[in-house]
Amino acid sequence: NITNQDSNTNYPFSTKQYRNELRHTLWLLPGVKEANAFEKLLNEHRIFGKEYKIVNVVKDDKSDSNEVVTEGDLDKVRQAIGDPSQNKTITLTVRKLTTGVNIPEWTAVLFLSNTNSAMNYLQAAFRAQTPFSHEKLGMKKNCYIFYFAPDRALTVMAESAQINSGVGKKNTLQQKEAMTQLLNFMPILGQTDHGMKVFNVDRMLTQLKKVYAEKAVRAGFEDDSLYNDELLTLDEADLNDFNNLKEIVGKTNLSGLPKKVEINVNGLTDEEYEKGEKAQKKKPRERTTEEKEIIEKVKQAKKQRKTMISILRGISIRIPMMIYGMPIEVDKEMGIDEFVNHVDSISWEEFMPKGIKKSDFKRFAKYYDPEVFVEAGRIIRQRAQSYDDLEYTERAEKIAELFGTFKNPDKETVLTPWRVVNLQLSKTIGGLRYFDENFENTTLNGQDSITWVDTEITKEVFKPNTKILEINSKTGLYPLYVASSLFYQKRNKLNDDRAGRFSKIDEDEIIQEVLKENIYVIAKTPMAKTITQRTLAGYKNWTTNILYVKDINKKIREDISDTIGEIQKGLNVMKFDVVVGNPPYQDSKKKLIYPHFYLMARKIANTVVLIFP
């Protein structure tokens, strides 16, 4: 209700101050029937019906498209306004009074109907900008447009400034300057968690491209919407960069990469790109011979663009999980350069294709749609944070779903899927299985398939003081499984002890105790550590036992005893009850490393549950 006072919403008619500033306003409705019905509702409203005179200028109209304004329509409005300092009015219309008419007393226009026409939108919006001064009310300094479909409003504004809001589309400096001028003249404010925030051109484009960002996230950054049309305007130096990148990415055994990639055609010039964009908007019969040739060249460039994207994917699919684990604010606008700067060099080498340095990747940053990248990163972080409010087993399911969108970097680097984690652990140590008996579905007849599984060693593994170690974490899904199992067990005991009388606070205390006393993790990179922290504790500042062991592959090969000593000292545990995980088979130099992890696990734990190659 826009008249209810609420510090979180600040709706336009929610306080006496706002209503005094919005004494006289114009409201646009979808049609005559809607306007007549709305008039009745307003007159019956506890605030609008008492404080405002409702003027319906389309009451007797026979058509929704009637734009003809009579003197009688204007008289209705002016008579209702009378002394503007003593009266308050709301004028209801469909198309009337939206063009060529000035009512100086109006201070706001409310759009309660959809419009996709930039011209109609702006003409109606400007009805509130007519200068006005009054001896009691003073000079009109502010006027407002209220629109409750923000993306449509932004799209219309972008169209009015002739700025390209489609995914990947390039905008010239002149186009952005034109949009900036319009925003200076007619600022756009949007509601955020931290209050009202002014839109600039970049934020506006980011909001408009949110749907493409969602698509990119669902596809694990394996979607064309992540890239822009800079890929259509490559020069010889750019082509050489792509040839070099193709050689590196090709060595990662990335599925879907063409066996042979031909990169030999120079792209469009900026001038050709702009001419092609304009020509494609014309009807075919209106195009000149030159325009037809440019359109054909654009088609060839777009074919080449797909080839370039197939190469860039070898890098792009590695990005979402890194964004997920980054220790930055949820709503922060993180561009691609800032993303690169946030990744430490050790983690970069671990997660990115061998041979791709940070400086190399920065040369390809220009091919990513900046607004889609920023918004996609924010969606990942917001989604992860939103799960923090869930009960811990429900949160585990959602985190696993999110990881399901992350792609394996290549055939050599496989992220152990949640299904495999469940299969491995439930059949060995038991615990809380999130799949059906065949490990095919997480639901059965519309209900969660969550089931507690007992094996011969389950009671010994999931005892109150157990200490369980994942030996080589990348995602945190192994410790998530055992943590949620321990939580489930202790929560059920609390439920029995208190006859169901407990709260989310009690549940949070249980999982915090589990993470602090029972769960231990080894990570081989700083990024793997932050990813695991995010998986186990979300955005909450909870204590966890995650140890980053620098150069663990080298250390474990040279001296297992010293490595064990470092782990025992770092985690303050001499002996673990169980070691779980899926350690690497070989290192970056193709040298066998798995046996060293297995031997270490046998030395520091009573029970070892690893995936054997």
- Summarised one tens digit per residue, pLDDT across range 45-100 is 989 999 999 999 999 888 888 888 888 899 999 999 999 999 999 999 998 988 88
Q: Strands (DSSP E) along 53-115, which ranges?
A: 53-56, 89-93, 108-111
Q: pTM (2 decimals)?
A: 0.71
Percent share of the chain, pLDDT over 90: 46
Q: Report helix angle 201-208 to 370-386, nearest 10.
A: 70
The verdict on 134 and 231 lying in the same domain is: no
Examine the pLDDT at 386 and tell me if it is beyond 90: yes
pLDDT of residue 117: 65
156 in a domain, yes or no? no
Q: What is the per-residue pLDDT across 478-511, written as a single tens digit (0 to 9) for each?
A: 999 999 999 999 999 999 998 888 898 999 999 9
400 in a domain, yes or no? no
Distance CA 613, CA 598 (A): 11
Most confident of the following: 48-62, 189-203, 241-255, 421-435: 421-435
Q: What is the per-residue pLDDT across 410-444, written as a single tens digit (0 to 9) for each?
A: 555 568 999 999 999 999 999 999 999 999 888 77
72 in a domain, yes or no? yes
pLDDT of residue 294: 81
38 in a domain, yes or no? yes
154 in a domain, yes or no? no
The whole-number average pLDDT for the span 240-260 is 67
529 in a domain, yes or no? yes
Domain boundary among the residues 124, 148, 172 is at 148
The verdict on 585 and 466 lying in the same domain is: yes
Tokens (6 digits) for 339: 């993303």
The whole-number average pLDDT for the span 576-597 is 90
Distance CA 406, CA 403 (A): 5
- End-to-end Cα separation, the chain, in angstroms: 61
Q: What is the per-residue pLDDT across 279-292, written as a single tens digit (0 to 9) for each?
A: 887 888 888 888 88
10 in a domain, yes or no? no
The verdict on 462 and 356 lying in the same domain is: no
The verdict on 365 and 216 lying in the same domain is: yes
Distance CA 343, CA 529 (A): 12
pLDDT of residue 71: 87
The verdict on 434 and 560 lying in the same domain is: yes
Query: What CATH number has the domain bearing residue 551?
Result: 3.40.50
The verdict on 448 and 350 lying in the same domain is: no
Is residue 271 packed enough to be buried (19+ CB in 10 Å), middle (13-18) or exposed (0-12)? exposed
Q: What is the DSSP letter of 113?
A: S
Distance CA 147, CA 109 (A): 9
Distance CA 256, CA 220 (A): 14
17-26, 146-155, 513-522: segment of lowest average pLDDT:
146-155
What are the DSSP calls for 136-169, one per residue? Answer: TTEE----EEEES-HHHHHHHHHHHTT---STT-
Q: Identify the domain containing residue 472 by its residue range.
A: 412-610
Query: What CATH number has the domain bearing residue 112?
Result: 3.40.50.300
For residue 474, the Cα-to-chain-centroid distance in whole angstroms is 22
Q: What is the DSSP letter of 592?
A: B
Tokens (6 digits) for 134: 């009054």
- Reported as a pLDDT band with limits 50, 70 and 90, residue 15 is confident
| Residue 524 CB partners (closer than 8 Å, separation 6+) | 350, 472, 548, 549, 552, 553
The whole-number average pLDDT for the span 216-243 is 86
Domain boundary among the residues 148, 166, 198 is at 148
Examine the pLDDT at 242 and tell me if it is beyond 80: yes
| Residue 58 CB partners (closer than 8 Å, separation 6+) | 29, 32, 35, 36, 66, 92, 93, 94, 96
Q: Are 572 and 566 spatial neighbours (Cβ–Cβ below 8 Å)? A: no
180 in a domain, yes or no? no
Q: Are 477 and 400 spatial neighbours (Cβ–Cβ below 8 Å)? A: yes
Domain boundary among the residues 148, 163, 188 is at 148
Q: Report helix angle 504-517 to 477-498, nearest 10.
A: 130
Distance CA 97, CA 441 (A): 59
- Reported as a pLDDT band with limits 50, 70 and 90, residue 263 is very low
What are the DSSP calls for 360-413, one per residue? Answer: HHHTTGGGB-HHHHHHHHHHHHHHHHHGGGS-HHHHHHHHHHHHTTSPPSSSSS
The verdict on 301 and 416 lying in the same domain is: no
The verdict on 370 and 416 lying in the same domain is: no
Examine the pLDDT at 257 and tell me if it is beyond 60: no
Domain count, the chain: 3
Q: What is the DSSP letter of 474?
A: S
The verdict on 368 and 417 lying in the same domain is: no
The verdict on 351 and 423 lying in the same domain is: no
The verdict on 285 and 353 lying in the same domain is: yes
The verdict on 241 and 328 lying in the same domain is: yes
- Reported as a pLDDT band with limits 50, 70 and 90, residue 264 is very low
pLDDT of residue 261: 45
Most confident of the following: 206-215, 226-235, 375-384: 375-384
